[in-house]
Amino acid sequence: MQFHNPIIPGYNPDPSICRAGDTFYIVNSSFEFFPGVPVHESKNLVNWSYTGHVLDRESQLPLTGCNPSGGIFAPTIRYHDGMFYMITTNVNRMWMNGKAGNFIVHAKDPKGPWSEPAWIDQMGIDPSIFFDDDGSCWYTGTGRANDGQGIVLFKLDPMTGEILSDKKIISRGSGGKCPEGPHMYKKDGMYYLMLAEGGTEFGHMETIGRSETIDGPYTFNPAGPILTARNDNASGHPIQCTGHADIVDDENGNWWIVSLGTRPIGPMAHHLGRETFLAQLRWVDGWPVVDCGGLMQLEAEGDLPHPETVSPVCDNHHYDFAEMKSWPVDFAWLRNPEMKNYALDGTLSLTGTSERLSTPNTTPTFVGVRQTQFKTISEAQLLTNIPEGCSAGLTAYGIHTHHYDVLITRRYGTLYAQLRKHIYDMEAVVSEIPLPECEKVVLKITSDRSKYYFAVDAGKGFVELGTALTIGLATEVTEMMTFTGTFIGLFAENGKARFTNFDYTAEWEGKPEMRIG
Ligand code: 6LW
């Protein structure tokens, strides 16, 4: 059956997948955004519903002062004996306090509530857990042990985070740089250690080794990486940087691999973030072989489980705040939000503070959804009774140094619409028009692969305010290595603004009708 990739579009990197009965669950890294570690679920691997987040309390997810792309790195989700476990790293704890940032939480239901963190006394990132046939739980992750740096193994109490054995470095990879993202599996009596190597950029690849004993030695697949696009950069293959994968079987005995990947806007740059992709894999002579030679495809084929449940999906969001009583599951805030600045009071009321979108490492009054496709249309309707000096509107937001904002502001009593661009240390209002007094306006951002288009409607039809290049929000052009992707968000600065509606529609690249997932 055909399906369309990415299966979870937009900034959803470092996927980890598990299955409980007939239902699959995927978690992704979330960095400086709150809540943390989104959970999607599916029965057919192509229709994914956003069920919530693992880390939905500040006690689980302290992000104060977090750098862009700090916070929560790669997670792992596993299901064992009726309990779900999620293990990950809050690099903030490591970078700001010098303490190990690895922790594990558990829940009977992936919708939560999840437990408080059980911290693990192991530095490094990319922790994973594996339950052996005897029920023992083993930690793997990148880090140091007495015998150096590499993929470290030790027995773990998954409920308390207590380390129950000596630590041992069991692999340093197959020769690629940055061996990381380890996951361990057992099949036909053999232990398999799968790694991401090559770095999460255009040299990314997924490798796998096997051993008769859990602590090695691991012999790596003589065929080389099972998944990569590193040899297809120049060919312009539409999916790049594939790696950081996880594998799972379905109830029919078929095997699947999910991995992160990017959809570049041009040579060597992407702005939608690292997304989650799917391919089928088959075992040949004791080694996994991924379909299409390990090159992820936008239109793929597979023996999907529960094909009768497959239906077309889209990423559209239509929010009418008049009736809304609870926060949509796909809303994301920057770091730990000051929730007194947000209210669903028949509108979405945002109370802007002196923290602006461009203020580093803070929590400006902002809430957004991930941009999931190149072609999108976003419209926000807001009331114009904003106070003097307040700015509020819609933003295409990468990080605090890279965002494009279409907004209204009041100066000396007059209401203006502006297109404001912030790139690196440069911020400019590139266009501004006075608005007639009116009760509300609609702000609009339209996007395609190369540009964003900004407009305002004050009651007499949309007036263009200008355009901006998508490359300006690409990960590869930011001053710091970012691991996130573009949000379309609502914001307010220096005063209260009230939004009545927010609509986001996305057009699937390629053959949307073929994305029957
Ligand atoms: C992830 C690690 C990585 O934890 O990036 O580049 C980190 N490699 O595997 C964040 O995605």
Q: Whose CA is nearest to atom 8 of ligand 1?
A: 200
In ligand 1, which atom is closest to the CA atom of 125?
A: 4
In ligand 1, which atom is closest to the CA atom of 204?
A: 6
Q: How far apart are CA 99 and CA 121, in angstroms?
A: 8
More reliable by pLDDT, 440 or 480: 440
Mutational test site, ligand 1, from 92, 178, 483, max ligand atoms within 8 Å of CB: 483
* Whole-number pLDDT of residue 513: 43
Secondary structure of the chain: what % helix, strand, coil (to 5)? Answer: 5, 50, 45
Amino acid at 378: S
User: What separation in Å is there between the alpha carbon of 73 and the centre of ligand 1?
Assistant: 6
- 423 CB contacts (<8 Å, ≥6 apart)? 401, 402, 472
Show the tokens assigned to 107. Answer: 């829940």
The burial of 507, by beta-carbon neighbours within 10 Å (0-12 exposed, 13-18 middle, 19 or more buried), is given as middle
User: What separation in Å is there between the alpha carbon of 241 and the centre of ligand 1?
Assistant: 12
Q: Whose CA is nearest to atom 7 of ligand 1?
A: 73
Write a three-state SS string for 472-512.
Answer: HHCHHHCCCCCCCCCEEEEEEECEEEEEEEEEEEEECCCCH
Q: Whose CA is nearest to atom 5 of ligand 1?
A: 200
> What is the average per-residue pLDDT within 458-482?
94
pLDDT at position 514 over 60: no
Q: Whose CA is nearest to atom 9 of ligand 1?
A: 181
pLDDT at position 244 over 80: yes
- 371 CB contacts (<8 Å, ≥6 apart)? 10, 11, 271, 272, 396, 447, 485, 486, 487, 488, 506
Q: Is 19 helix (H, G, I), strand (E, B) or coil?
A: strand
DSSP code at position 335? S
Reported as a pLDDT band with limits 50, 70 and 90, residue 234 is confident
Mutational test site, ligand 1, from 244, 259, 274, 275, max ligand atoms within 8 Å of CB: 244
Q: Whose CA is nearest to atom 6 of ligand 1?
A: 200
Question: Quick one: which of 336, 331, 316 has its CA closest to 499?
Answer: 331
14 is catalytic: yes
pLDDT digits 0-9 by tens, 196-231 = 999 999 999 999 999 999 999 999 999 999 999 998
User: What separation in Å is there between the alpha carbon of 178 and the centre of ligand 1?
Assistant: 9
Q: Is 321 helix (H, G, I), strand (E, B) or coil?
A: coil
* Ligand 1, residues at Cβ distance < 6 Å: 13-14, 29, 73-74, 125-126, 180-181, 196, 199-200, 244, 483
pLDDT digits 0-9 by tens, 335-391 = 999 999 999 999 999 999 999 999 999 999 999 999 999 999 999 999 999 999 999
Q: Is 91 helix (H, G, I), strand (E, B) or coil?
A: helix
User: What separation in Å is there between the alpha carbon of 161 and the centre of ligand 1?
Assistant: 22
User: What separation in Å is there between the alpha carbon of 75 and the centre of ligand 1?
Assistant: 10
Mutational test site, ligand 1, from 11, 14, 72, 178, max ligand atoms within 8 Å of CB: 14
Please identify which of the residues 32, 126, 180, 330 carries the catalytic annotation. 180
In ligand 1, which atom is closest to the CA atom of 260?
A: 11
> What phi and psi, each to the nearest 5 degrees, are found at residue 223?
-80, -5
User: What separation in Å is there between the alpha carbon of 189 and the centre of ligand 1?
Assistant: 30
Question: Quick one: which of 360, 204, 251 has its CA closest to 23?
Answer: 251
Rounded to whole angstroms, the maximal C-alpha distance in the chain is 75
* Whole-number pLDDT of residue 481: 76
In ligand 1, which atom is closest to the CA atom of 73?
A: 4
In ligand 1, which atom is closest to the CA atom of 200?
A: 6
Show the tokens assigned to 397. Answer: 């937001």
Q: What average pLDDT does the structure give for the chain?
A: 95
* Whole-number pLDDT of residue 510: 62
- 480 CB contacts (<8 Å, ≥6 apart)? 67, 68, 69, 399
pLDDT digits 0-9 by tens, 131-154 = 999 999 999 999 988 888 999 999
Q: Whose CA is nearest to atom 3 of ligand 1?
A: 200
Count of H-run helices and E-run strands, the chain: 1, 39
Amino acid at 45: L
User: What separation in Å is there between the alpha carbon of 74 and the centre of ligand 1?
Assistant: 6
Mutational test site, ligand 1, from 183, 200, 242, max ligand atoms within 8 Å of CB: 200
pLDDT at position 516 over 50: no
User: What separation in Å is there between the alpha carbon of 319 and the centre of ligand 1?
Assistant: 33
